[in-house]
Amino acid sequence: MIKVKDHQTEWIFDPWNHIGPKRQKMLDNSWAGVFKKYLLEKLPIERVAGHFDSVMGRPTKELYTVIGALILQQLHDLSDPDVTRAVAFNIDWHYALDITGDSDENTYFCERTLRRYRKILIEERLDKILFETLTDTLIDKFGVNTSKQRLDSTHIRSNMRILNRIGIFLSTIQKFLKRLRDSNGDMYALLPESEFGSRYLDKDTENLFSYIKPSGSSKTIHDMAKTIFHLVEFFRPYDAVRNMPEYCLLERVLNESCSVTGTGIVELKPAEEIPPDSLQNPSDPDAGYDAHKGSGYQAQIMETYQPDKKDIDLITYVDIESAHKHDTHALLPAIQAASERNCCPDELICDSHYGSDNNVQQAAEQNVEVISPISGNPNIIEITLGNFKADTKSNFITRCPEGSVPVNVCRTRKNRLIAKFTKNTCSACPRLKDCPVVIGKKASYLRYNDKMLRQAQRRAFGKTKEFKDKYRWRAGIEAAMSHLKQDIGLKRLRVRGMVSVRFAVMLKVLGLNILRCVKALCLPLFQPFNRFLTSVFFFLGLFFHSVRYFIVKDQVFIKNRLLFVT
Domain boundary among 419, 442, 461: 461
In whole angstroms, give the CA distance from residue 314 to residue 336: 18
In the chain, how many domains are there? 4
DSSP-derived 3-state class of residue 317: strand
Residues 178 and 258 in one domain: yes
Residues 365 and 510 in one domain: yes
Q: What Å distances lie between residue 175 and 180, 201, 514, CA to CA? A: 9, 9, 41
Residues 204 and 108 in one domain: no
pLDDT of amino acid 557? 47
Domain boundary among 124, 139, 155: 124
Identify the band that residue 564 occupies on the pLDDT scale cut at 50, 70 and 90.
very low
Dump pLDDT digits (tens) for 113-146: 999 999 999 999 999 999 999 999 999 999 999 9
Residues 457 and 499 in one domain: no
**539 within domain boundaries:** no
Residues 495 and 346 in one domain: yes
Residues 263 and 191 in one domain: yes
**8 Å CB contact between 130 and 44:** yes
DSSP-derived 3-state class of residue 349: strand
Identify the band that residue 539 occupies on the pLDDT scale cut at 50, 70 and 90.
low
CA angle 532, 534, 540 (to 5 degrees): 100
Identify the band that residue 15 occupies on the pLDDT scale cut at 50, 70 and 90.
confident
**8 Å CB contact between 92 and 32:** yes
In whole angstroms, give the CA distance from residue 116 to residue 46: 16
Please state the pTM of the whole predicted model. Answer: 0.85
Residues 365 and 475 in one domain: yes
Bridge-based pairing state of the strands 438-439 and 417-421: unpaired
pLDDT of amino acid 86? 95
The separation between CA 483 and the C-alpha centre of its own chain, rounded to angstroms, equals 12
pLDDT of amino acid 513? 96
Dump pLDDT digits (tens) for 259-315: 988 777 889 999 889 999 999 999 999 999 998 889 999 999 999 999 887 778 999
Residues 392 and 248 in one domain: no
Dump pLDDT digits (tens) for 405-426: 998 899 988 889 999 999 888 8
**377 within domain boundaries:** no
pLDDT of amino acid 347? 95
Domain boundary among 66, 91, 124: 124
Chain mean pLDDT for the chain = 87
Query: In 3D, which of 484, 476, 478 has the Cα closest to residue 504?
Result: 484
pLDDT of amino acid 552? 55
Residues 268 and 341 in one domain: no
Residues 354 and 394 in one domain: no
Name all contacts of 475-481 with Cβ < 8 Å and 24+ positions apart: 476/150, 476/305, 476/313, 477/150, 477/151, 477/152, 477/301, 477/303, 477/305, 478/152, 480/301, 480/303, 480/313, 480/315, 480/512, 481/152, 481/154, 481/301
Bridge-based pairing state of the strands 148-156 and 347-349: parallel
pLDDT of amino acid 321? 94
Higher-scoring residue by pLDDT: 9, 26? 26
**86 within domain boundaries:** yes
pLDDT of amino acid 526? 42
Q: Which amino acid is at 34?
A: V
Residues 23 and 116 in one domain: yes
pLDDT of amino acid 208? 53
In whole angstroms, give the CA distance from residue 439 to residue 422: 9
Q: Does the pLDDT of residue 1 top 90, yes or no?
A: no
**295 within domain boundaries:** no
Residues 26 and 107 in one domain: yes
**114 within domain boundaries:** yes
Identify the band that residue 194 occupies on the pLDDT scale cut at 50, 70 and 90.
low
> In which domain, by residue range, is 111 found?
17-124
